[in-house]
Amino acid sequence: MGIVSRGFRGRRREGGDELPPGQYLVEDFPVLSAGPTPRVPLDRWEFAIDTEDGQTHRWSWQEFMALPMQTPTVDIHCVTKWTKLGTTWEGVSLDVFFEDVESAAEYALVYSYGGYTTNLPLEELLDGKAWIVHSFDGEELEPRHGGPARLLVPHLYFWKSAKWVRGIRLLNEDSPGVWETAGYHNYGDPWREQRYEGD
Amino acid sequence: MTAEHLDGNALAGPLGEIFAVDVTAAIGRCASCGLTGPVAALRVYGPEPGLVARCPGCEEVVLRLVRGPGTAWLDLRGTVSLRLNIPD
| CB-closest option in A35, A36, A184 to B66 | A184
Give the number of A-B residue pairs with CB atoms closer than 8 Å: 48
Q: Is residue A188 part of a domain?
A: yes
Q: Is residue A179 part of a domain?
A: yes
ipTM of the complex: 0.89
Q: Is residue B50 part of a domain?
A: yes
Which residues in chain A have Cβ-Cβ distances shorter than 8 Å to B4?
33, 36-37
**Rounded Cα–Cα distance for residues B55 and A122 (Å):** 33
Q: Is residue A142 part of a domain?
A: yes
Q: Is residue B18 part of a domain?
A: yes
Pairing of strands A165-171, B27-30: unpaired
Q: How many domains does one find in chain A? A: 1
Can you give the pLDDT at residue B2? 54
Cβ burial A49-82 (10 Å sphere, 16+ → b, else e) = bbbeeeeebebebeebeeeebeebebbbbbbbeb
The domain of B40 spans 6-83
What φ, ψ does residue A157 adopt, rounded to 5°? -50, 150
Q: Is residue A16 part of a domain?
A: no
The domain of A188 spans 42-192
Q: Is residue B27 part of a domain?
A: yes
Q: Is residue A93 part of a domain?
A: yes
Can you give the pLDDT at residue A14? 47
Which residues in chain A have Cβ-Cβ distances shorter than 8 Å to B69?
196
Q: Is residue B51 part of a domain?
A: yes
Hey, is the C-beta of A88 within 8 angstroms of any chain B C-beta? no
* Contact between A154 and A94 (Cβ < 8 Å): no
Per-position pLDDT tens, chain A of length 199:
344 433 344 445 444 558 999 999 999 999 999 999 999 999 999 999 999 999 999 999 999 999 999 999 999 999 999 999 999 999 999 999 999 999 999 999 999 999 999 999 999 999 999 999 999 999 999 999 999 999 999 999 999 999 999 999 999 999 999 999 999 999 999 999 999 999 9
Q: Is residue B88 part of a domain?
A: no
Can you give the pLDDT at residue A18? 81
Q: Is residue B1 part of a domain?
A: no
What is the CATH number for A152? 3.90.420.10
Q: Is residue A118 part of a domain?
A: yes
Measured from the Cβ of residue A17, the count of other Cβ atoms closer than 10 Å reads 10
Per-position pLDDT tens, chain B of length 88:
456 899 999 999 999 999 999 999 999 999 999 999 999 999 999 999 999 999 999 999 999 999 999 999 999 999 999 999 988 8
Hey, is the C-beta of B69 within 8 angstroms of any chain A C-beta? yes
Backbone φ/ψ region at A180: left (φ over 0), alpha (ψ -120 to 50), beta: alpha
Q: How many domains does one find in chain B? A: 1
Average of per-residue pLDDT values in chain B: 94
Q: Is residue B61 part of a domain?
A: yes
Q: Is residue A156 part of a domain?
A: yes
pTM of this prediction? 0.91
